[in-house]
Amino acid sequence: MKQFQNKVAVITGAASGFGKAFADIGASLGMKLVLADIQQDALDATVAELKAKGAAVIGLRTDVSKSEQIQALADAAMAAYGQVNLLFNNAGVGAGGLVWENSEADWEWVLGVNLRSVIHGVRIFTPLMLAAAAKDPAYEGHIVNTASMAGLLNAPAMGVYNVSKNAVVALSETLYHDLSLMTEQVYCSVLCPYFVATGFNDSRRNRPADLANAAPPTRSQLVAQANSDKAVTSAKVSAEQIAQMTFDAIRTRGFYIYSHPQAMAPVQQRFEAIIEQRNPGDPYAGKPEVRAKLISTLRG
């Protein structure tokens, strides 16, 4: 997609982090915006801010884990603007801890937001894009699914999150191949960020009450949360930088988008281990003191 003026972008998780940065760039390029977020006050503030800058924008509170609410989002986009050119399946949450300690509610919450929302977005919006392409040879469409470096690596004490993001990468790669069988007008990308200053570590603020855990967090879950807090708050790369990288990839039809290319060495090592049938490598091989501290903390 080379030209963005008057194109329509739908963005989930649009009131903070990557989503808000996508919206800011889209508005600066003259796009029409449909913003979705579960946090109503933050969504209202984002819509008001962009309208004040002259953007054409609507907002819809959306629980992206619910297919009927993603359908309502698509219906609202079509009613307001008549088509969708750019879809950011971006909403995401996180939960950590030793994988057997994650509750059924943990799995339901994280897979609902991180994975099922992307499934709903692909299932509902792709046919709209293909129909638009069939009617107009000049139509351009692009889908960006936000995964994570956790979709390519499987760090300990992040099992539920790793599973969700590995699945998003697999879904995105399949979507890429499936689209190539049907059209040259609709493309897709997968965004795999590392730790970025987005506020993502506080995603539990929007966890539904019916998916709250009755039991207090375990030791491993407290450690995982503390590590996430430290990594995100100390991150040097901003959401705005990642958003710009993403729009650059959309322009060039790039599929894999990495926030930290220097972090790809462990990914290469992982796939080499798979090919050579070696056991998974130690993610803390370069920092044995971190592994020792983690073991000491978890074993008490």
Mean pLDDT of all residues in the chain? 94
Contact partners, residue 239, CB within 8 Å, separation at least 6: 17, 18, 20, 21, 196, 197, 198
Mean per-residue pLDDT for 41-62?
98
**Amino acid 51: pLDDT:** 98
Do 30 and 128 fall into the same domain? yes
Please check the confidence at residue 198 and state whether its pLDDT lies above 70: no
Greater model confidence, 37 or 204: 37
Residue 183: per-residue pLDDT: 98
Same domain, 255 and 268: no
Q: Are residues 36 and 22 in the same domain?
A: yes
Same domain, 275 and 208: no
* Number of separate domains in the chain: 2
User: Over the stretch 240-272, which tens digit does the pLDDT of each residue have?
Assistant: 999 999 999 999 999 999 988 888 988 999 999
Q: Are residues 298 and 181 in the same domain?
A: no
Identify the band that residue 205 occupies on the pLDDT scale cut at 50, 70 and 90.
Answer: confident
Task: Give the model's pLDDT for residue 260.
Answer: 87
Of the pLDDT bands very low, low, confident and very high (cuts 50, 70, 90), residue 283 is confident
Residue 39 lies in a domain: yes
Q: Is the pLDDT of residue 17 over 90?
A: yes
d(CA 165, CA 21): 21
Say if CB 32 and CB 282 are below 8 A apart. no
Stated as kind and residue range, the H or E segment containing 44 is: helix 40-52
How confident is the model over 139-158, as pLDDT tens digits?
999 999 999 999 999 989 99
Asked if the structure places residue 2 within a domain, the reply is: no
Write down the pLDDT at residue 88. 98
Domain residue limits at 295? 264-300
Q: 22 lies in a domain?
A: yes
Under the banding of pLDDT at 50, 70 and 90, the label for residue 235 is confident
Residue 165 near residue 119 (C-beta atoms within 8 A): no
pLDDT of residue 163 exceeding 70, the answer is: yes
Residues 288 and 175 in one domain: no
Catalytic-labelled residue, pool 81, 139, 161, 187: 161
What pLDDT is stored for residue 197 in this prediction?
65
Per-residue pLDDT tens digits for 93-121: 999 999 999 999 999 999 999 999 999 99
CA distance 280 to 94: 23
161 is a catalytic site residue: yes
- Shared domain check, 205 and 296: no
Asked whether residue 169 is assigned to any structural domain, the reply reads: yes
201, pLDDT greater than 70 = no
Among 68-77, 161-170, 243-252, 281-290, whose mean pLDDT is lowest? 281-290
Where does the pLDDT of residue 277 fall: very low under 50, low under 70, confident under 90, or very high at 90 and above?
very high
Q: Note whether 297 and 175 are same-domain residues.
A: no
- At residue 195, does pLDDT exceed 90? no
| CATH value at residue 61 | 3.40.50.720
Distances in Å between the alpha carbon of 32 and those of 58, 119, 136, 183? 9, 24, 19, 24
